[in-house]
Structure 1
Amino acid sequence: MTDGSTLALLERLRAADWSGDWDHAFEHAQSRRLLMHEYLRRAALWAQAYGAEAEWPFFDVTQYVDKDFQLPPELAAELDACLKKVAYGARKTCGAAVRFAALHARGDIALPDLYEPLVLFYERGGEFLQDGAGLLDLTGVSIRPRKLQNHLADLPFLTFDGRTLDALDAKGRITYHVAADRSGPVLRRRLFKAEQHDEVFTPELRWEPTDRLRLADEKGTDAVHVQIGDIEAAELVQATVRGASGS
């Protein structure tokens, strides 16, 4: 019998938009960038743990964890049918994600779920492209993976709530700011088409205009607010989301 989590993953892959809708991918460029960085970090952890460094970053980890593992025939047939609808460049990792989910269902695995960030990435805009030099075109943003050892040291990005991911997506060049003592809401400064937009993330879970950063600029001091990275900003947004939902 196939467990529910593996079947649910198959449904997610079937439901993803593989049509190459660039607008959808562009709308989620920032969150997709963070999700890809988290996948690369997790892939580095798994590759190091199971001797798969030569295959990093996009590989089927199941064959390293249990080389004799096979999907049940019925599930294998469902996966084959599903992959026919998946964009060609994503078929390898989508198949790997389903096999990993089936393996994971048999028992606890200490390392974090390798493929969840990548599945979320696909759900938010489809596949990515990789050129011969290793550059990853995520649609709207490109990144070049560093060495495996560098990704092992990356900060984890663990804020996968859809509302948080949506809040991170916006057009323009973005910097995040917060009170120096980390109290209060997260702020962002967004530069888009030569216009500056200062915004605050509110308990109503939306970005609204604010003059806090402008007033700090006019005073010529950075003691009130400090700039933070996007991963820390995501954690603060997530805290606001959870506070609004009472969880």
Structure 2
Amino acid sequence: MADDLPLPVLERLRAVDWGDDAAAYEHANSRALLMREYLRRTAGWARAYRAEESWPFFDIAEHVAPEVRTPSEVAAELEAVLTGLAPSSLKKTCRGAVRWAVLRGTGGELPRDLPDDPYEPLLLMYERGGGYFVEEFIDLNGAMLRLGTVESNLSARPFPTLAPATLDALDAEGEITYFAKVGEVDPRAGGPRGIVRRRVDDGRTYDEAFAPNLRWEPTDCLRLNELGHNEADHVGITEIEAAASIELAVVRTA
């Protein structure tokens, strides 16, 4: 095993600004989606290795291949990064992510029917505004999530959309509802003709369409549709469905 295999993960953790409250609020929506995806992915590993009692913030490699350890020098550097951080479960996930990188680097075969990279959503969430606290809910410092159970998270819809541009497009202030323009393609099949959102923030309503320039621009289409003046209809979709369509647009523009 090469000595540098876990180092990219260690450097990502070293670069996190754990006290950036402004970033946490700015990226509240995407951070919540990333945490949900982490819970879903790790629920699969917990069920497969009978580690439900350790879920959700745990060292997966400990259950998959306990003989694989993080090199001592890397572990020492990681502990320096984690000094002063809380809660203890956050530190456990960071150690788990580094050890997972070590395990992946051994070249051993892992189950193909389980999520390929269980820690990636959580690493991305950390990079978009720091950590979390757990009380009655998971507090992401800008969003609150119910933890749920292994079973409920196993049945959650996957959120495989992890591209930064897509995550950025999901972040906005206010209560957001997404709509897809009904056309020749079923919006729930991942290919609507257009994505529109309605934001309600401080009592004001903003209707915005995701434009070809990959930005949200003001639109009257929802209001015209409500007045019966718009030929195209719109159907409500989930934020995960909206994310999939946004990512398609990002890929087409690249």
Q: Please state how far the C-alpha of 1:92 moved relative to its aligned partner.
A: 1.4
Q: In the alignment, residue 153 of structure 1 is paired with which amino acid?
A: S
| Aligned positions of 1:171-210 closer than 5 A | 171-181=173-183, 182=187, 183-210=192-219
User: Over the residues paired in the alignment, what is the CA RMSD in angstroms?
Assistant: 1.8
> What residue in structure 1 maps to residue 148 of structure 2?
146
| Aligned positions of 1:62-141 closer than 5 A | 62-84=61-83, 87-89=85-87, 90-107=90-107, 108-109=109-110, 110=112, 111-112=114-115, 113-131=117-135, 133=136, 135-141=137-143
> What residue in structure 2 maps to residue 241 of structure 1?
250
Structure 2 CA distance for aligned equivalents of residues 150 and 88 of structure 1: 26
Residues 29, 138 of structure 1: 8 Å contact kept: yes
Structure 2 CA distance for aligned equivalents of residues 170 and 106 of structure 1: 41
Structure 2 CA distance for aligned equivalents of residues 5 and 164 of structure 1: 28
Structure 2 CA distance for aligned equivalents of residues 71 and 143 of structure 1: 31
Q: Sequence identity, in percent?
A: 48
Q: Please state how far the C-alpha of 1:136 moved relative to its aligned partner.
A: 0.6
SS, match of residue 6 in structure 2: helix
Structure 1 unpaired stretches of 5+: none
Q: Please state how far the C-alpha of 1:96 moved relative to its aligned partner.
A: 0.8
Structure 1 CA distance for aligned equivalents of residues 154 and 226 of structure 2: 37
Q: Please state how far the C-alpha of 1:5 moved relative to its aligned partner.
A: 5.0
Change (3 A) 1:22 1:222: farther
TM-score using structure 1 length = 0.92
- For 1:212, which of 203, 221, 224 is the aligned residue? 221
Q: Alignment length, in residue pairs?
A: 241
> What residue in structure 2 maps to residue 229 of structure 1?
238
Structure 1 CA distance for aligned equivalents of residues 225 and 64 of structure 2: 53
Structure 2 unpaired stretches of 5+: none
SS, match of residue 198 in structure 1: strand
